[in-house]
Amino acid sequence: MSGNTLGKLFKVTTWGESHGEALGVVIDGCPPLIPVTKEEIQREVDRRKPRAFSKISTTRIEEDQIQILSGIFEGKTTGTPISILVGNKNTKSKDYSKIKDTFRPGHADLTYELKYGIRDYRGGGRSSGRETIGRVIAGAIAKKLLKLKAKTEVFGHTVQIGNIKAKRFDKSFIEKNELRCADPETSKRMLKLAEKTRSEKDSIGGIIEIIIKNPPQGLGEPVFEKLDAELAKAMMGIGAVKGVEIGAGFKVAEMKGSENNDQIKSEKGKIKFLSNNHGGILGGISTGADITIRLAIKPVPSIAKKQQTITKTLKNTSIEVLGRHDSCLAPRIIPVAEAMAAIVLIDKFLEQKGAKL
């Protein structure tokens, strides 16, 4: 299986399966002498974990304690490959034995079988959302680099669950609620919808937004490696993401040029845009304005409702996917999407700086 590495200079390779012994990541190309602690990385990994006693998250609660194997010494990066792993402790592989020969609708079971002729059916194996732990670990280091070298901040929030849309934005509230919604009132309605959907043995989709504050100017190449193209590719590499918008996104189809164009002025010797429909990127290159990315997150495919499917021998059958699953993935995807954005940005930043910080 190829395609497990992201980046040119800041290279991130993830490995491991949902029910294997462990999952992890190797980061090659991280500059030396970058202060980063185990606690900082663990904090990001913990954000990805389901919350205990949640009514909408999986009941599979893993410790997800990171183990640094190489590349960090006395609280600083050494410039050598960074290798970090997380063990799988709370696996219940027997939950999947009954469906090992049956393809779950909405999952990668069928396509893995078609491509490789073999698959790890325990929790989806490599196609499981647990693979994203390695991305979040790498993202924690990428975030630290961006903050130290460019004062760049990457954060996300939930803007829609089902047909319920947030109307207000209070950044301080994002991490204070289970859905990571920045609207205190709307978050309550969103949570009720997610809980109701779960009680009906179903799941619900949503939209999240990633905001990159104070991104470096000049990142991205103008033709085949546009910054927005690289970000979109990274985001679509997250299993649950089915759509990407940057800036005004699909709304541009309804606009006139005079409405979509972000007019520019000089203010105190700095460039200022009067709007941000371009989402911080023009001609594939960052302008320094906030980069805004919205992602459509599909409903969790593992649902207890009976669905029609086939077996490996092409026999028609039905399936009810029992086990421990989220009813809405949107809030747990946010740390993953933040990580992917940070990895792309730091890779482009190193390219721009000639790999020297």
Residues 39-60: tens digit of each pLDDT: 999 999 999 987 755 667 665 5
**What type of residue is 140?**
A
The per-residue pLDDT for 161 is 97
C-alpha span between 217 and 286 (Å, rounded): 5
The per-residue pLDDT for 99 is 82
The tokens describing 59, both together, are 């009941």
pLDDT at 217 over 70: yes
C-alpha distances in angstroms, 251 versus 132, 246, 256, 278?
Answer: 30, 10, 10, 11
What is the secondary structure of 254-300 as a DSSP string? G--HHHHS--EEEETTEEEES--TTTTEETTEE-SSPEEEEEEEPPP
Phi, psi of 306 (to 5 degrees): -70, 130
Which of 93-102, 123-132, 241-250 is predicted with the least confidence, judged by mean pLDDT?
A: 93-102
The confidence band for 93, taking pLDDT boundaries of 50, 70 and 90, is low
C-alpha span between 166 and 171 (Å, rounded): 12
Which of 205-214, 313-322, 332-341 is predicted with the least confidence, judged by mean pLDDT?
A: 313-322
Structural domain span for residue 256: 5-352
The rounded percent of the chain whose pLDDT value lies above 70 is 94
What's the full length of the chain, in residues? 357
200-206: average pLDDT: 94
C-alpha distances in angstroms, 258 versus 192, 266, 305?
Answer: 41, 19, 49
pLDDT at 74 over 80: yes
The tokens describing 352, both together, are 């721009």
pLDDT at 61 over 70: no
CATH for 307: 3.60.150.10
The per-residue pLDDT for 104 is 93
Residue 276 lies in a domain: yes
Chain CA centroid to CA 98, Å = 30
The per-residue pLDDT for 203 is 95
Chain CA centroid to CA 284, Å = 21
| More confident call, 326 vs 289 | 289
Q: Report the DSSP pairing between strands 76-77 and 281-282.
A: unpaired
Which of 121-125, 286-290, 323-327 is predicted with the least confidence, judged by mean pLDDT?
A: 323-327
The tokens describing 56, both together, are 């909408």
pLDDT at 311 over 70: yes
C-alpha span between 176 and 171 (Å, rounded): 10
Q: Are 329 and 129 in contact (CB under 8 A)?
A: yes
Residue 36 lies in a domain: yes
The per-residue pLDDT for 54 is 66
Coil/strand/helix, residue 83: strand
Residue 181 lies in a domain: yes
pLDDT tens-place string over residues 140-179:
999 999 999 999 999 999 999 999 999 999 999 999 999 9
Domains of the chain: total = 1
C-alpha span between 167 and 186 (Å, rounded): 7
pLDDT, averaged across the chain:
93
C-alpha span between 280 and 269 (Å, rounded): 19
Residue 321 lies in a domain: yes
Residue 298 lies in a domain: yes
The tokens describing 183, both together, are 């609207």
pLDDT at 249 over 90: yes
220-243: average pLDDT: 97
Q: Are 246 and 228 in contact (CB under 8 A)?
A: yes
Which of 157, 204, 207, 202 has its CA nearest to residue 184? 157
pTM to 2 decimal places: 0.94
13-29: average pLDDT: 94
24-41: average pLDDT: 97
Residue 357 lies in a domain: no
